Amino acid sequence: MSSEKPDQVETLRRDLLKACNTLSNVNLFQAAKWCAEALNGLPEPKPETADLQPEMLILDEDALLDQNKYLLAKAYFNCKEFDRAAHILKNCKTGDALFLRLYSILISVDKRATEETDGSINIGSDVVDDMNNRLSKIIQESENYLTKSKPNSFLYYLNGVIYNKKKKYALAQSNLYNSLKLFPYNWSAWQELISSLITFEEAINFITKVKAAKSSLSSSIMFQFFEVVVLQEFYQQSSSLFDSLNHLITIFPSFTFLKVQQFLISYHSLDYFQAESTFDQILVDDPLRLDDLDTYSNMLYVMEKRSKLSFLAQFASMIDKFRPETCCIIANYHSMRSEHEKAIMYYKRALTLNKNCLSAWTLMGHEFVELKNSHAAIESYRRAVDTNPKDFRAWYGLGQAYEVLDMHLYALYYYQRATNLQPLDKRMWQALGNCYEKIDKLEEAVKSFEKALTINSAEPHICYRLALISEKLGDVKETYKYMKLCFEQELDWGVNDETSKARLWLARNSLESRRFEEAYELAKDLSHSNAHDIEEARSIAREARNRMSKN
Amino acid sequence: MVQNQKTPSQHNSTLFISPMINSRRQNLFVTPPNPAAQTLFDSPGSNRSSFFNLERGNVNDDTTSNSNIPPAAEPLTPAEKLRLWRHDALMQHQYKTAEFIGDKVLALTDDPNDAFWLAQVYFNSGNYLRAKSLLTSKPEFEKSVSCRYLAAYCLIKLELWDEALDLVGESNPFRKDDKYQVRSTDGGIKLEASICYLRGLIYANQNNFEKAKESYKEAILVDVKCYEAFTELISNNLMTPREEWDFITTLNYRDADDNDELIKLLYTSRLSKYLNVSKLYEAEHILTEEYDLGDNCDILLSKADYLYVQCNFDECLSICEQILRKDQYNFDIIPNYLSCLHELGGKNKLFLKAHQLAENHPTNPMTWLAIGTYYLSISKIAEARKFFSKATLLNPNFGQAWIGFAHTFAAEGEHEQAISAYAFAARLFPGTHLPNLFLGMQHLQMNNLNLSEEYLAASYQICNSDPLLLNELGVINFHKNNFAKAEMFFQEALGAAKYLNSDSKTWISIHANLGHVYRRGNQPNKALQCFNQVLKISNKNDSNILAAIGLINLKLGNYFKAIDVLHDALAISPSDPVASDLLRRALESNKNNGNSFIRSNGEKLLELNLPTLQYRQKQSRKDGSLQGQQTVVSAQNSKFMTPLTNKTRILRKGSGVLQPIEKDTDDTHEAFYIAHELKKGNESSDEDDEAIMDIESD
């Protein structure tokens, strides 16, 4: 568009190339992958500018000294001998070497914890203690280095990762922020940063803070990515979000990541048809991509596209059977066929492959609910909110499970958490209202249901509930108002149980207040209800007619 | 040399009466070339000692003994030759030869010194009874100081303490004769000092530790070279740290001749690490720089001890391993090594070391200490106890083993037995504060606050810088509701811990306790700060701490936070009654707080999400296909919103769970769980203490 744009793209290309090399040099594979994908997502370079030489990493004195050992350690690391890699780097001086060493230790600790807990469900406290112990040591060492020597972006990143694991989110944020200030192209760090932001408020505050600081970071293209993903993850939709997303897409026309963001945004706004077509396009561009395919399969499940989901399951298991995404897809497939045990088995497999697989815990919880195993469901949901406290479905599921167990106080708390995450979802407010009603907090219940009504157009059953509660509270006026409102929904929603009941109530009410005509009108058309109600309606109609004729 | 004759024999060492006394002027320690370059005797090389250099026999005087070694020019007398033969045989551990020849020499000369040397032979071959009877067979033998010394030693070996004490006398008989210090001329250890040492040994075995301490001190005062007495004093902690430091300055290092500086430094490096860290550091520095002893095991040992006292177990372990690499069979380092491994959870290495020891030194009590420690660290208490008790059987004065033994009882909560075992250890180690500290802790657990305070005070007298001790004192004051005092102690403990540069469990439990004090003292924010510190440092999430944080948040009205934290607490220990009770209350409060949730949260969140809401409404208005969207929503419901509520099983009994149990006043209730909690906090600190103590005891 603008004249400077090609120039900007070229700078970006160079930066990304360099960043990619740096990231692979410290074995941050996922971040390197992201960077390389972004690099390839840029428009094709013009031939005359294509002579970009990859800049060699410039080594300082210490790095040269460490180089041989560093290479050896990297080789060990790549051969998955993490402890050995860490051992080799014992006396190295550079920050990168220290990072690789601590990173190897981290991976080895994690690996051991996974192996010793064999699988996903049980975690012995010994193992956790031991793990925490070693994590603290890693942090100590890296913080020592950072205070004594020059700052290193990757060490900050590592600190952030560990603090996230320990749920010290404020510390994690400051470390990650430091890391990104030094080296913004580390997408893994951005991701950790996103996962350390628990509430939307917090996220917004963080973004405004960074913007206010006016560092180079806030103007960097990576920050735009960050903002888009944050808004997406907190289920936000606004024109500014679409603007920035479109802006990014013009810069990176063929970057799958951005398309996935588009898909997720449509998915979150329940615009499934749009979402589906977006993802179909992604699959055409990059057919063997498994990332985010599990989310796609969730959507297909909800859309009840059975054949497509079956195809997807087959297809994914052909690409790689042992990816957590594949397992989730297969589990969804089994769930769709009501084979819940099998679905659970696959979710478990997914979790064994990656215990932080975000959606698997929640979905497994749903399966347990299907099997009426509330305790197992609670356990799953709990793990889900433990790994990702932003998952409102898991909070909601917890609320439901506790409701089944008649533990309404617990349910209330979990619904509140869910509502905090999804204040725009009327189901949350409805559940909250139910809960308040159960524990005899009728006023709060009314308020919750009213909130639900304000979010969307009035739904008859909410109106009906409100009317019933008002009746309990003895507030005739309110009751009448809501009954009326409920009855009026017949136009939009057609005749159903709630509207019929409202109609009956209104008829009865009119009869009592001697408005016989109205009563007759209301009662005579009642046809959709149980026999008893219809009988009553008839008698009301009869009586109203009698009275009318008498008058 | 002239002085030799004047010096009473107690100022000499046995070097003085050794057959070679005057032949070792210059080249004593040089091993002679094997085939002699220069021969004294007719048959070259054949009759020459491999150990002592005879050619240097520049004998020009008669010593008090009548070992007349002729000048080199003169041929040796037959008796003289036999003596050399005997001596060499002894040095080469050919006891039969030595015995045979020694017997003949004695028969020829009837000299007390020859009796002494023959007794030496018996002693070396383990025949203490025979040695003793030889040495006491004739009155003139008994007159010789050296003979008396050896006889007493034999009696000690035979564990005949009273007889041994008779022989050496209850106090030093020479003390009164000469106040002045006489330097021994021969560079050996004065027999007077050695006898004092024996006296100390006897007293120690008679459990008379005060006298033992005096005797050992006297031994070192008489001759600073009597390291045996020094090490007994130090390793058994017979003196308090301050006494140790005072004592070391009163010593007379002149006896060590040119080495006085070195000896002083070496002794200094052995002293208690609780005091005068700078001096220790200086000594170590000089020893490393000037004497190039940085790699010497004893210096490393001192360093390890220091690190150990600092609770810097990682470093300490690496030093221990360094020492063991140099000297695999070093026994001095083993207690530290075991403790570090125990502390750091090196079960596998403990296993290996215990096995190695059991294979190589089955009779050494240290072996059984190692085995006991191993069992303790895999929490097999019964086995651990068995092996600790075996160690104490092998050496009744083995304080570490006694403490380990006591720990096994403490671990099972058998306070009475633990107390009696600790009390025994306290008698063995009068100079350390640890046994008293343990006793105080046991009494604290039994709620004997006054007794406990007494013990802790006694412990405080000995060492006032131990963070653990200060922590316990703080806990006591907490229990007595002296919050100001408790806070003071905890602050002091923190200061000490910081000074000791440790970030260990100690540090954490002090912080946690300080947090509890603030909590009780109505300083919730300070308390939260402390607890958060703990959580930041702590390796394991402690449900007790989390419960305390929950309680504070509950008090402050942060119900959400409280519920969250309490859930975490219950996730760690699901059956924690305090946490679940608090959670119940928090949920209850949350219920009553519903209004504010809806008002504040609801409004705020709606505001935050306003753009989205507007956007959505715009969108929906635009496409107007509300109906379509609705169907999708309901479809989604089927998966994500399973309508469980419709199938609610009617379980009325469940409501009982959530009902407030009774309406008693909040205060009493709270007092209940605070007490409960504190007890727990206390327990946890105790456990920490024990773990650490354990190490120290080892």
Average pLDDT over residues A208-228: 84
Distance from CA of B301 to the nearest CA of A (A): 24
Q: Name the CA dihedral angle for A536, A538, A540, A545, rounded to a multiple of 10 degrees.
A: -170
> In the predicted model, is pLDDT for residue B238 greater than 70?
yes
d(CA A39, CA B400): 66
Per CB-CB distance under 8 Å, the chain B contacts of A236 are: 609, 611-612
Flag whether residue A406 sits within 8 Å of chain B, measured between CB atoms.
Answer: yes
Does the structure show a pLDDT above 90 at A330?
yes
A231 within domain boundaries: no
pLDDT at residue B607 above 70? Answer: no
**Measuring CA to CA, which residue among A418, A389, A413 is closest to residue A169?**
A389
pTM of the model: 0.70
Mean of the per-residue pLDDT values of chain A: 83
> Are B334 and B366 a contacting pair, CB within 8 Å?
yes
CA distance A293 to chain B (A): 18
Closest C-alpha to B499, from B310, B316, B340, B685 = B310
Q: Is A16 inside any structural domain? A: no
Strand, coil or helix: what is A484? helix
Q: With an 8 Å Cβ cutoff, is B363 touching chain A? A: no
**CA A6, chain centre distance (Å):** 36
Residue B290, pLDDT score = 82
Contacts of residue B654 in chain A, CB cutoff 8 Å? Answer: 405-407
Residue A376 belongs to domain spanning: 290-385
| Residues of chain B found within 8 Å of residue A200, distances taken between Cβ atoms | 605, 608-609
Please name the residue that has the structure tokens 């180089």: A67
pLDDT value of residue A32: 92
- From A168, A386, A444, residue closest to B598, measured CB to CB: A444
Over residues A169-185, mean pLDDT = 90
Q: Which residues 350-389 of A have a C-beta within 8 angstroms of B?
A: 366, 369-370, 382, 386
Identify all chain A residues contacting B642, using CB atoms and an 8 Å cutoff.
366, 369-370, 400
pLDDT, tens digit, for every residue of A474-513? 777 778 877 777 777 777 777 777 777 777 777 777 777 7
SS3 labels along A280-332? HHHHHHCCCCCCCHHHHHHHHHHHCCHHHHHHHHHHHHHHCCCCHHHHHHHHH
The domain tally of chain A equals: 1
A379's tokens: 């356990």
Q: With 80 as the cut, is the pLDDT of residue B613 above it?
A: no
Q: What amino acid is encoded at A402 in this protein?
A: Y
Q: Tell whether the model's pLDDT for residue B663 goes beyond 70.
A: no
Q: Among B485-494, B533-542, B688-697, which range has the highest average pLDDT?
A: B485-494
Mean pLDDT of B181-188: 62
pLDDT of residue A261: 92
Chain A to chain B, count of Cβ pairs less than 8 Å apart? 150
B613 or B105, which is more confident: B105
- The residue that leads in pLDDT, A388 or B254, is A388
Mean pLDDT of chain B: 73
Do the Cβ atoms of A407 and B537 come within 8 Å?
no
Judging contacts by C-beta atoms under 8 Å, the chain B residues touching residue A401 are 644
Q: Between chains, do A132 and B639 touch, taking CB under 8 Å as contact?
A: no
Position B293 scores a pLDDT of 80
Residue A260's pLDDT band (cuts 50, 70, 90): very high
- Calculate helix-pair angle for B543-556, B666-697, nearest 10 degrees: 150
Q: Using an 8 Å CB-CB cutoff, list chain B residues near A443.
A: 595
> What is the least distance, in Å, from the CA of A518 to any CA of chain B?
30
**B79-117, pLDDT tens digit by residue?**
888 888 888 888 888 899 999 999 888 888 888 888 888
Nearest by CB: B602 against A129, A382, A451: A451
Any domain includes A377 = yes
- For the segment B427-459, what is each residue's pLDDT rounded down to a tens digit? 777 777 788 888 888 888 888 888 888 888 888
Lowest mean pLDDT of A16-25, A128-137, B262-271, name the range. Answer: A128-137
What mean pLDDT do residues B369-397 have? 89
Question: With an 8 Å Cβ cutoff, is A122 touching chain B?
Answer: no
Structure tokens at A203: 């996220």
pLDDT tens for each residue of B22-53: 444 444 444 444 444 444 443 443 344 434 44
Which B-chain residues 543-582 have CB contacts (< 8 A) with chain A? 560, 563, 571-572
Categorize the per-residue pLDDT at A516 as very low, low, confident or very high, splitting at 50, 70 and 90: confident
Chain B residue nearest residue A386, CA to CA: B568
Per-residue pLDDT tens for B133-153? 888 888 888 788 888 888 999
Mutate to test the interface with A, among B560, B563, B581, B645 (most CBs of A within 10 A): B645
pLDDT classification of A549: cutoffs 50, 70, 90: confident
Partners of B560 on chain A (C-beta within 8 Å) are 413, 416-417
List all residues 6 or more positions away from B149 whose beta carbon is below 8 Å from its beta carbon.
B168, B191, B194, B195, B198
Please tell me the distance from the alpha carbon of residue A454 to that of residue A451, in angstroms, as a whole number.
5
pLDDT at A351 over 50: yes
Q: Is residue A345 part of a domain?
A: yes
Q: Is residue A305 part of a domain?
A: yes
Contact B619 A269 (CB under 8 A): yes
In this predicted structure, what is the pLDDT of residue A471? 78
Q: Is A379 part of a structural domain of the chain?
A: yes
Any idea which of A383-387, B381-385, B620-624 has the lowest mean pLDDT? Answer: B620-624
Interface of A with B in 181-220 (CB under 8 A): 200-201, 204
pLDDT value of residue B399: 80
The model's confidence at residue A545, banded by pLDDT at 50, 70 and 90, is confident
Contact state of B587 with A412 under an 8 Å Cβ cutoff:
yes
**What is the structure's pLDDT at B692?**
33
- Residue-wise pLDDT for A33-43, tens only, equals 999 999 888 88
Question: Which of B572, B584, B644 is facing A369, going by the closest CB pair?
Answer: B644
Q: Which of B612, B644, B658 sits opposite A424 (nearest CB)?
A: B612
Would you say residue B249 has pLDDT above 90? no
Chain B residue at shortest CA distance from A137: B539
In a domain, A331, yes or no: yes
With beta carbons under 8 A apart, name residues in chain A contacting B635: 302-304
Instruction: Name the residue facing B615 among A130, A239, A413 (closest C-beta).
Output: A239
User: Which CA distances in Å does B373 have to A490, B200, B382, B455, B685?
Assistant: 80, 30, 12, 26, 21
Q: Tell me if chain B has a CB within 8 Å of the CB of A239.
A: yes
Please report the pLDDT score of residue B621 as a whole number: 53
If you write DSSP's letter for every residue of B541-577 in order, what string do you get? --HHHHHHHHHHHHHHT-HHHHHHHHHHHHHHSTT-H
B635 contacts A420? CB cut-off 8 A: no
Which tops the pLDDT comparison, B103 or B689?
B103
Interface check B30 vs A, CB under 8 A: no
Chain A hits for B638, Cβ within 8 Å: 302
- Confidence label for B176 from pLDDT (cuts 50, 70 and 90): low
Give me the mean pLDDT over the A95-107 stretch: 90
Residues 473-512 of chain B with CB under 8 A from chain A are 503
Identify which of A467, A470, A468 has the alpha carbon closest to the alpha carbon of residue A485.
A467
For chain B, positions 616-645, list CB contacts with chain A under 8 A. 616, 619, 626, 629, 632-633, 635-642, 644-645
DSSP 8-state symbol, B602: I
Q: How far is CA A313 from CA A300, A334, B621, in A?
A: 11, 10, 37
- For the cut 60, the answer to whether the pLDDT of residue A121 exceeds it is no
Would A275 be classed as within a structural domain?
A: no
Where does the pLDDT of residue B469 fall: very low under 50, low under 70, confident under 90, or very high at 90 and above?
confident
- Supply the CATH number for residue A356's domain: 1.25.40.10
Does residue A291 surpass a pLDDT of 70?
Answer: yes
